[in-house]
Each structure stands twice: as C-alpha cells, then as structure tokens.
A and B are shown apart, each in its own frame.
Chain A
Amino acid sequence: MKIQISNGMFIAMILNIMYAKAIGVTQGVLARAVGQDMWLATLLGTLEGIVMMYLTYVVIRRTPDKDFVQLGQLLLGRWFSSLIALVIFAFFIVAFGPIMITFVYHLRDYFLPDAPLWIFVVTSLVVGAIGCYYGLEVMGRIAMIGLLFMFALNVLITIGSMQEFDIRNLLPVMESGLPRTAKASMHYLADCAMATMMATLVLPLVKKVDIGNGRFGVLGIIGSGMMIIIWAILEGAVLSSEVTSQYTLSCMKLARNAHIGTFLQRYEMIMIALYSLPALFEVMFCIYGTSVCISRIFGIKSNRPMIIPCCIVLGVFGYWIIEDHFRAIDFLENYWPFIALPVAIGLPLIMVLLRVMLGSKLQKKSA
C-alpha cells in the first residue's frame, strides 16, 4: 500500500525543515547584510518562497501521483529521471552542511564544548537514520510533535525577551533600501529551497494534494514565515542588529539573554531541548532525500538499503564543513545560497517548461 501523509503533516514538515536554521544562523547572516531590516528580508524571502513553492506544485499538478524523479522519466526517459535524482541527491548532501552547522554549533559551542565533533554528527545521523528507516509517515508524526515544540519555544522566547524589547532598535525601516534587502532575502529563500526540494519528493504522497490548489505548500511557507519572523523581530529589537550580526547563532544569543523576571534565567537548556526535534527532523529528511534519490538512480525499490551509505556520505561532508568555523561561515554565506537557489528555482522551471513543450506526449503516456 502506498504511504500517504496528511496535509497537516506536510505543513508541519515544511515548518520543521526551515525553522531550525532560519531562526538563528540565517538571521545572523541577514543582520550582517542589512542590519535591522533583517525582518523585512525574512518577509520578502517568505513571499519569494511562496512563489517557489507554488511553482513546485504547478509541476506536479497534472500528475499528482508522480514526484519529480518519476515525472522526469515520463517526460524524457530514464536518463533524465536519473539526472533529476542526482541533482536532488546532491542538493540534500550540500544542504546537510548548513543543517550540521545549525545543529552541532548550538549544542557544542553553548553546552558541550569539550565533546568531540564526531559525537554530534554520529548521534544525529543515528537518530535520523532510525526515523528514516520507519518511513515518511513516522517522520510526518515527528514533524507534528516538532511543530508543538516550536510553538512552545516561540512562546518561551517571547516571554523571556519582552522585558528588553525596544522597538527603536528596529528603526529606521528599510534603511538598507529595497535592492539590498531583496538581495539579502535570498539567504532566507535558500531555507525555503530546502522546503521546496522536500516537496519535490513528498508532494505526491500528500493526501488530496490535487484538490488543494497548492495551498498546503504555500500555507507551510506562510506558517514558517510567521514562526521565524518572530525571531527576526525579537533579535533586532532586543539584541539590536549590531549585536545580532556578531554571532553565528544569533538565536542562542537571544536565548542566553532571555529571562523571566529576576529568578528564572539561563533557561536555554529547555529551549534547546525543544529546538532539537526540528533540527533532528532536518537531519532525518536529508537522509530520506538522499537515500530515496540514490535508490532511484540504482533502480532499487526501497530506500532502506541506501540509508547507511547515505549517512556515511552525509556524515563525512557534514563533519568537513563544521570542523572549521571559518569554513562553515564562508560556506553558509558565500556558497550555500548560490547552490541552493539555482537548483530549487531552476529545477521546477525546467520541469514546467518541459511539461509545456512535451504536454501532448505526457498526455498520451498518462492515458
């Protein structure tokens, strides 16, 4: 029986895959680029992400039971589907870099500085592999719990930061100008890219995807935007953009500053516990995405045999990225958006074009 996930699970998965990186790592990058306008860059990125997600939906609209790889086979044959699978595989390998930066630096730099790096990489991959082994439905359920955790985390950080909230730190609005803010928004759009690339594989497995008019994916991006923009505003208003721009993980800086009254301080350990589930979901989906794609390339029916080989590849790449902080930041700011965006925008565009060009062929095949 074909696995299906509910619309709610799909939306939760989008939020989970974007949240962990976008609230801290991305906001730090945005603050360095546009100062206090980082919340505007996040807002613009959300609008761009909506278009990108809708474009992904448009690709599979006529063939709602086929993901990008299967659709590629239908359009141009096996070689093309393998090429698409290879591109998506490469995307998730590269995406694992920023994900590891987010996950490992949170835990290691703030809580366990003496622990060796490999511990974090291996444990996250073990948890991710287990989730991936049990399949998409289990991952969807984890994402639902992750969504609850994200709500709780947002509530905690909002309560803990309101005492220091100074709206003047967010002014003047649009000081960097629209072109610079729009350019900076691509860093947030790169986070949306993870969600759209996830949708290329998952969308056909969503119940009633064909009758939603792409609404679920769009709702996911809007929901993510709402959850993440809270952090952008708080970081700008509480820390100030100058302080935010100094840190790799600006969300941890905010969490470190948070306090409820005088006596409840330094509760970032609770926040990090809530944060870990979305972060682990990201790892989980990277394993899922790579293992599904590589199994399609080799023509293997199930992705399970490919989980461990994919974990090894992901682990090696992830370790290499995080081993040097300066390399990690350089990769994050100067390479990741320029790899993620051409793939996440280009791939759906090519597919739409091919659909238009080979529409009649597709209809015959479908018939």
Chain B
Amino acid sequence: MKRIGYCILLIVLVVPMLTSCMGLRQINELAMVAAVGLDLGEKPGTVRLSAQIIRPADARGQTGAPSGGTGEPIYSITTEGSSIFDAIRNMGQISSRRVYWAHNFLIVMSEQYARKGIDDMVDFFTRNHELRMNTWVAVSADKPEEVISTVTGLEVVPGEAVDRLFRDHRIPGRAPGTNMMSLEESHLSSSTQSVIARVSLQPRGVSNKKPGEHGSIQQVELKGAAAFKESKMVGWLTADDARGVLFFLERLDKGIEVVTCPDSSTDMMTLEFNSAKLKVTPSYTQGSPKFKVRLTTSADIVENGCSQTTEQLRKDAGEGLDQELTKTLEGVIDKAQHKYQSDFLKLGDVFRNKYPTEWKKLKGNWDDAFSEAEITVVVETTVKSGVVKATREGIK
C-alpha cells in the first residue's frame, strides 16, 4: 500500500514536467532567421542589424505565390542598437514573432563594419547557444540588407541560395568557405589571421519575360575575399588571390585554369587540374624564417583551341599551367606579405609547428618577420590526358 502511495506521488510530481511548458516556444510563434546583415548604424558607435526572416506560408513548395500567401517568401527587417544584442532585442519591437536564430545560414558584414573590427561579432555569434557553428560568414562592399534580401532565381529563400553557393564553393574555387567555426579558430589564433569570403550583388540574372534586358536582375555572387589583420579588415583579395588562399587553407585539389596557346595570343586552352597538393616547408636561418611552397598537380586538357601536335601541346599546356598557378600563388603571397602584412595563409602556424622555440622569439614581432621572410614557390604539373579525345590533328 505504501509503495503504491509512493508511486502515485512520484507520478504526480513527474507529470507536470512532461508537459514541456518550461521555456515553451511554439514553431508557429517563431520568426526564423535565414540570413543576417551587419553594418554600422547611423549614429556613431551603433550597429545596424538586418535579418531575413522566412515566411513559412510563402516559402513552402516551389517559387511563386501560393494561395493565401503574399508571394514574398521572406520578410526583411532592420534595427539599430548599441551592440548586436541590443539591436536584436530592438527587433522585438518590430517583429510580431520571437526571432529565432538556430536556422541562420549566413552572416554578411559590410566593409565598413569589418574594417572597424569583428571582435564583438565573433564573440556574439559563438556565445549564443542557438546559433549553428557552420553558419557562413561573408563581407560585402554592398549594403548587407540588400545582399541578404536579394531573391535569387532558383531558391525560394535567398539565405538558402547563398548557403548552396558556399557549399559548392570549391568547384569554382574563387572564394574561401568561411564559416563561424573556421573564423573563430583563425580569429583566436596567435599564429594566423582571418580571411573571410566576399559576396557582392552583380547584374547577372536574365529575365525570362524580357530576355532582351540582359543582366537586369541582381544576383548574389560569391567571389574574392576580405583579408584581416588582428580583428580588422585590411583589404580585398581578388578571385585569383582567393584561389591561392584555398590552396593554403582548404587544401584545394581541383580546379580549372585557362592558358594562352603559345602560337597565338587569342586562342586558349582550358586545363582541369586535380590531385593538387600544396606543401609548405619552413626553415630558419640567421634569425629569419624562410618558406618553400611546393604545389604538385596533374591536369587534363578539357578544352583546346590550340593547333599543335600532341607532344608539343602537352609540353606547352604543362608550362602554361605552371605559370598560371605560380602567378596565383605568388600573387596572394605578395599581398599577404607586402600589401597587408597579414599572415592569413597560416604560414605562422607551419613555422610554429616546426620551430616552437624560435616561434617564441618571433611571436611578438611575427608580422614584420613574416613580411620579410623569403618565400619561394615551386609548381610542378603533369598534363596526363585530353580526356576523351586523343589529339586534335585527326587523320595524318
């Protein structure tokens, strides 16, 4: 009898917990953010925050206005505050639903915001338990609120479209795939600097209804990157530089390069390189670091506009690719060393790993040591096939 009494008491105590009423948030009461924009506010010292919120009724299914909806799959709002959190709280004054961040795909910062410093941004977005750590991060020279609210042709939710651009960023290989995870790591590291992908609005879309108005629709383009020193943006990297960055930071192993035919300045051939491997070997002589950067890769001719014999073509293609890749690597190294004096290529990390004692001496003055370091680039490529075609010559 006593035991039954205890059981009943236990059930009575446990049942209220099963209702899950504590901290209750119903899905239809949430404003799900798909992308966030950060900019400097109008008043000095303030932050302007824009959020792209999904309208569930309009975002479901395919593009186009479903019955009963407004036809707009997203709702974008902007607020300002003294800090990011303050701006978010101020959003509560506008949004009828509670803003929910767990499904955010993207954070876009304006160039001005990034140049002022991203300490608070990194801290806020990593401190908040709701946020995903694989949220993509980008910098834009355009207004972030415009970037995040630009509806693209294929996806209903723009944040999702940029998410897919990032997911496949290694295919064009023209921008790094920066997410909160990698940004936090480089931001906190004492031996490397951050580099963040660039997004911009480009008139690339073609209207189906008015095809004559070519490029009338703005689209988000993922191309290039922003270089940082400490926590502040110091400048832009071009798409070629960004490819160089990818070799160092993301072990890029595939890509295409277009090289000029040796017998013509107008004809081109396209090579697809694969199995690329970049190795950085540091050394230390007479108090200064040195690096040997060696890139080895094999390549296939995937498009040929040159009229040469197979043997000659192979040799020229290899040399052309060598030159292109060397130019890419040297270009980004030069920018890191001399233009921005910022080690975003993780060479400090490599040096520290091999020479920990020497690193302790150079650590405090690494920017200077890095900018004066001797870096040699060696590229070795082997052209292996013309894919399904044997030669261009045909019957001899």
Q: Do A and B come from one complex?
A: yes
Q: Which residues of A contact B (CB under 8 A)?
A: 109-110, 112-115, 119, 123, 164, 168-169, 171-172, 175, 239-240, 242-243, 246, 256-257, 259, 262, 265-266
Q: Which of B55-63, B126-134, B205-213, B371-379 is near enough to bind chain A?
A: B126-134
Chain A min CB distance to B378 (Å): 21
Chain B min CB distance to A257 (Å): 5
List of 4 A-B pairs having minimum Cβ-Cβ separation, nearest first? A114-B23, A171-B353, A242-B188, A172-B356
Given contacts A243-B185, A265-B134, contact A109 B129 (CB under 8 A): yes
User: Once the chains bind, are B129 and A242 in contact (CB under 8 Å)?
Assistant: no
Chain B min CB distance to A202 (Å): 28
Given contacts A240-B188, A240-B189, A262-B167, contact A114 B133 (CB under 8 A): no
Partner of B22, one of A110, A114, A246: A114
CA distance A242 to B126 in the complex (A): 13
Q: Which of chain A's residues have a CB closer than 8 A to the CB of B22?
A: 112, 114-115, 119
User: Once the chains bind, are B185 and A113 in contact (CB under 8 Å)?
Assistant: no
B244-285 near A? 1/0 per residue, CB < 8 Å: 000000000000000000000000000000000000000000
- Kindly state the interface size class of chain B when it binds its partner: 20 to 34
Q: Which of A169, A257, A262, A265 has the most CB of B within 10 A?
A: A257
Chain B min CB distance to A338 (Å): 29
Chain A min CB distance to B91 (Å): 19
Offer 24 A-B interface pairs, CB within 8 angstroms, sorted by A: A109-B129, A112-B22, A113-B23, A113-B129, A114-B22, A123-B17, A164-B181, A168-B349, A168-B353, A171-B352, A171-B353, A172-B354, A172-B359, A239-B185, A240-B185, A240-B188, A242-B188, A246-B188, A256-B133, A257-B133, A257-B181, A259-B134, A265-B132, A265-B134
Give the nearest-CB partner of B131 in chain A.
A256
CA distance A115 to B188 in the complex (A): 32
CA distance A329 to B255 in the complex (A): 48
Chain B min CB distance to A133 (Å): 11
User: Once the chains bind, are A115 and B129 in contact (CB under 8 Å)?
Assistant: no
Q: Which of chain A's residues have a CB closer than 8 A to the CB of B354?
A: 172
Given contacts A112-B22, A114-B23, A115-B22, contact A242 B190 (CB under 8 A): yes
Partner of B352, one of A112, A164, A172, A243: A172
**Which residues in chain B, 89-136, are within 8 Å of chain A measured between CB atoms?**
102, 126, 129, 132-134
CA distance A123 to B189 in the complex (A): 40
Chain B min CB distance to A212 (Å): 39
**Which residues in chain B, 321-369, are within 8 Å of chain A measured between CB atoms?**
349-350, 352-354, 356, 359
**B72 adjacent to chain A (CB < 8 Å):** no
Give the nearest-CB partner of B164 in chain A.
A262
User: Once the chains bind, are A172 and B353 in contact (CB under 8 Å)?
Assistant: yes
Q: Which of chain B's residues have a CB closer than 8 A to the CB of A246?
A: 126, 188
Q: Which of B181, B352, B359 has the most CB of A within 10 A?
A: B181
Q: Which of chain A's residues have a CB closer than 8 A to the CB of B184?
A: 243
Give the nearest-CB partner of B353 in chain A.
A171
Chain B min CB distance to A106 (Å): 11
Chain B min CB distance to A294 (Å): 23
Q: Which of chain B's residues have a CB closer than 8 A to the CB of A115?
A: 22-23
